[in-house]
Chain A
C-alpha cells in the first residue's frame, strides 16, 4: 500500500469552487480570498504554499466548516460543507493541548466530544501512543513534554476520530529543525498508511516539496491558485527525508521559489 498512487479517477475528496471570503473592517472590506478553486483527490497529499497573508489559513477554516464563505462552495466527498463534519480533522501550529488534561485525556478529547470514549477507544489510543513512542507519557501533563512530543499528541488526537481528510496548518513551524524533519517523516508515513487525504498549508517550500504529491502555489492577497506543480518525490523515494536527497529536489525548489511572489528588497 505504501507507494500506491492516489486514486485520481475517483471522486474528489475536497472540491473548492469559486471561493470568496471578505471580512468587513471598520470602514473597508478586506478580501482574503478571491475566486479560489482547486480540488484534492482521495488519498492525495497536497500542499498549499503562498506568501504570508494570502488567505491560506482562512481557507483551511472554511474547509473545516468553522466559518462560512462569502461566496462559492466547498464540497467534501461530494457533500456541501455547511458546518464542522467528522470527516475532516485539523492540526495547527499551536498544538492546542489542554494543560488540565493528561496526555491520554488530550488524545481522547475528540472521541469524548462525540460520545465514543469507551474502552475500545482507550485501547486504540494506547496503540497510537505506543506507535509514536509516547506510551510511557500517557499520564504526563502536556507541559512536561517537548514540542515534538506535544505535536505527536495533537496528531493522535486528530487521527483517533478517524477523519478521511486531514488539514494541516503549519504543524511543524514551531519545532526545531531536527524535530521538524523527524516529525514530517513520521506524520507522512502515518497518514499514508491510513490512506488519508491531506491538505498541508505551509510557507516552507522544502517542507511542501518533501511531503506532497502536488503543490498549489497561491498568489498574494487576495489569494488564488497561481501554479500547480506535480511533485510526488516522497512517494517515489519512500519518505520525505529521502525526498530531500532526490536529484530533482533543488531544481523544483527554485521553480516553486520563482512562482512565489516574494518581495526581495536589498
Chain B
C-alpha cells in the first residue's frame, strides 16, 4: 500500500490501492460477462429450437421440444417415472464405481507389494483393457440375468480395469530416491508403502477416479441398453422407439445432472486429499 520513494516525486502516478481496486473491478466485470454469455448461448439455442418446432420448421416427433422437455423434468419432482429411472441408474453406477475403485486400488497396489505378480499379470491386464467392455455385456447377461446385477458388474469391470492400470502406471512414477531416503531412516516395507508410495500415488488414484466416472456411467447404460426394464438407458431407448424425443432429451438432462454431481464430489475429494497437487 505504500508508494516507493522514487514514485513520490512524480505527479499523477496512481497509488497501489487504486491499481489493486482497478484490477479487482476488471476481474469482477470479466467474470460476470462470461457468465452472462454462457447463459445467453444456451438460452438462444433453446429459443431457436422452441420457435422452430412451434413454427413448424422442425417436427416435435423427431427433434423434441424444450418446453416439453421442461415439463418432463418438472414432473420428476412430483414423483414422476423419470426420477425412478434416474435413481436406478445412479444406484448401479455408484455401486459399480465404488467396487471398481476399491478393487482397482487393491490389486494395483498389490502389484507394487509383489513385483513379480505385476510382471505376471501386466500383459493380461493390457489385453483386458484393450477389449471394448461392451462385448462383455452378453456374457454378464447370461451369468447374472436381466436384473441390475449385470449393470453393476459391467460398470464395475470398466472402472476396475481403468483404476488398476492408472495406479500401476502411477507406481512407476514414485521417486526411487524418496524410497531410499525412507529406507535410510530405517523404514520397513509397510512404512515405505504408507508414507511414500501411497501418498505419491494419491494424485494418480484421484485422476483415475475422475476419468472413471464416465466409464461407470457408460457401463451401467450399456447394461441397460442390452436388456432392462428400468434405468435411464432403458428409458431413452424405449422413448426413442415411441418417438417421444422430448422424454429422451429429459433423460439425457438427468444423466448430465447426475454425472455433474459425481464430478463435483470427486473434485472436492481431489482438493481435500491432494491439495499440494491441484492448487
Contact = CB atoms under 8 A, between A and B. Distances in A.
A248 to B, nearest CB: 36
B202 interface: yes
Q: Which of B183, B184, B202, B277 has the most CB of A within 10 A?
A: B184
B186 A98 contact: no
Nearest to A169: B177
A112 interface: yes
Interface string B180-192: 1111111100010
Nearest to A86: B186
Contacts of A61: 180
A174 interface: no
Contact of B184 (A84, A99, A100, A143): A84
Interface string A40-80: 00000000000000000000010011100000000000000
B277 A113 contact: no
Contacts of B121: none
A89 B184 contact: yes
B178 A96 contact: yes
Interface string B181-221: 11111110001000110010010000000000000000000
B124 interface: no
Contact of B195 (A89, A99, A112): A112
A50 B178 CA distance: 25
Given A113-B195, A143-B276, A66 B184 contact: yes
Interface residues of A, number: 24
A244 interface: no
Interface in A113-168: 113-114, 141, 143, 161
A232 interface: no
Contacts, number: 51
A201 interface: no
A88 B276 contact: no
A59 B222 CA distance: 58
B72 to A, nearest CB: 46
A221 interface: no
Contact of A100 (B181, B183, B274): B274
Nearest to A64: B184
A170 B21 CA distance: 47
Contacts of A86: 185-186
Contacts of A90: 181, 184
A12 B191 CA distance: 32
B7 interface: no
Contacts of B175: 94, 96
Closest 9 A/B residue pairs (Cβ)? A110-B185, A113-B185, A99-B276, A113-B187, A84-B184, A100-B199, A100-B276, A66-B180, A96-B181
17 contacts: A61-B180, A64-B180, A64-B184, A66-B180, A66-B184, A84-B184, A89-B184, A96-B175, A96-B181, A98-B178, A98-B196, A99-B277, A100-B199, A100-B274, A109-B195, A113-B195, A143-B276
